[in-house]
């Protein structure tokens, strides 16, 4: 599925294109499944304009085939590739190497891939890379979450949030999830120690609760609303949400951190093979269980992206290819 102009999901078109050429250090993968992330529809629409500056193409997109998450089977390898061979099942995160997972074939560096756990389906594996990387790096690296600490996850029912709840537990934290009432049971099933109605945040504040780390995966409330819940020296990590909140933290996070004596940070995750291996190990061990809301065939990618744009998804939306 390709697009040659910015716009709504309907600008995507099914096109027959040449199979990507195999490079010396490349791995040609037959894609079996991918998943939709918020970044996909930002890139598709070219909004905010910062997206166009970062990825190129002020007027027309320079990335014709989107798709970050990948689960598939190796078709061929370049002569310098040592980690994989044809027939291997792999998982990848492609945001640092040109995207392209919403297609039947993609050629990527071997550094973007790890072995898929044997007992995990392509569908499950494709639901984890980008969202899991954001949750892991947000909690472990920016939040510096430690065993025994208290974690609050905003937007806990979404792709990043639902994995952050489980990763927080894996890192030894006591986890409270914020979600709408109809999504609370899902989060209890994923292991949250407590689930609170996001519309009753003031009740949580009045209770005197404090958290060492707050990971906000749906930042639509002002950051100041969370300040009473954040322990002195604690960390507020913004992962996703409104563009206004994103720029607020990007531009004023350091100043707010100094003024409030709390760390206010905006996550910019960087895909690494080591972190992807960690996520796959947790998948295989049953520590992570991605919650898949719906699956779509590649021919319905426009509908899949539109569904994610509505911001009502529980967990992840997966595209089968």
**DSSP state letters, 71-117:** EEEEEEE-TT--S--TT-EEEEE-TTTT---SSSEEEEEGGGEEEPP
The token pair at 133 is 């990387």
Cβ count near 255 (within 10 Å) = 10
Q: For residue range 83-100, what is the model confidence (pLDDT) as tens digits?
A: 999 999 999 999 999 999
**What is the reported pLDDT for 187?**
96
pLDDT at 195 over 60: yes
**What is the reported pLDDT for 1?**
87
67/87 Cα distance (integer angstroms):
22
The token pair at 120 is 């995990």
**What is the reported pLDDT for 298?**
97
E strand residue ranges, the chain: 26-36, 69-77, 89-93, 105-109, 113-115, 150-154, 174-179, 194-197, 211-216, 230-238, 263-266, 292-297, 316-320
41/310 Cα distance (integer angstroms):
11
pLDDT at 271 over 70: yes
**What is the reported pLDDT for 50?**
77
289/163 Cα distance (integer angstroms):
8
117/119 Cα distance (integer angstroms):
6
Strands 89-93 and 292-297: unpaired
pTM over 0.85? The answer is yes
**What is the reported pLDDT for 204?**
85
**What is the reported pLDDT for 74?**
98
Q: For residue range 24-46, what is the model confidence (pLDDT) as tens digits?
A: 999 999 999 999 999 898 899 98
295/131 Cα distance (integer angstroms):
17
62/52 Cα distance (integer angstroms):
9
- The model's confidence at residue 311, banded by pLDDT at 50, 70 and 90, is confident
Identify the DSSP state of 119. Answer: T
């Amino acid at each position: 599925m390709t697009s040659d102009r910015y716009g709504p999901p309907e600008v995507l078109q099914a096109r027959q294109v040449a199979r990507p050429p195999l490079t010396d250090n490349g791995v040609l993968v037959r894609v079996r499944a991918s998943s939709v992330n918020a970044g996909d529809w930002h890139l598709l629409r070219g909004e905010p304009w910062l997206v166009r500056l970062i990825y190129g193409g002020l007027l027309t997109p320079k990335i014709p085939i989107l798709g970050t998450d990948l689960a598939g089977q190796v078709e061929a390898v370049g002569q310098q590739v040592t980690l994989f061979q044809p027939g291997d099942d792999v998982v990848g995160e492609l945001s640092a190497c040109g995207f392209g997972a919403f297609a039947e074939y993609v050629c990527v560096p071997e550094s973007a891939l790890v072995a898929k756990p044997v007992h995990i389906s392509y569908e499950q594996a494709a639901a984890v890379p980008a969202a899991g990387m954001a949750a892991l790096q947000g909690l472990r690296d920016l939040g510096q979450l430690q065993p025994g600490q208290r974690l609050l996850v905003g937007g806990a029912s979404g792709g990043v949030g639902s994995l952050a709840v489980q990763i927080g537990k894996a890192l030894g934290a006591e986890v409270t999830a914020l979600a709408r009432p109809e999504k609370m049971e899902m989060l209890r099933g994923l292991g949250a120690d407590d689930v609170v109605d996001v519309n009753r945040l003031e009740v949580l504040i009045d209770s005197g609760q404090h958290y060492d780390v707050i990971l906000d995966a749906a930042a639509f409330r002002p950051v100041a609303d969370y300040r009473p819940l954040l322990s002195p020296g604690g960390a507020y990590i913004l992962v996703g949400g409104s563009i206004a909140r994103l720029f607020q933290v990007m531009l004023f996070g350091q100043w707010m951190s100094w003024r409030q004596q709390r760390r206010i940070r905006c996550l910019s995750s960087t895909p690494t093979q080591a972190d992807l291996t960690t996520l796959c190990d947790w998948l295989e061990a049953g520590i992570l269980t991605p919650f898949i809301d719906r699956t779509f065939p590649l021919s319905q990618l426009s509908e899949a992206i539109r569904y994610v744009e509505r911001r009502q998804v529980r967990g992840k939306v997966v595209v089968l290819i």
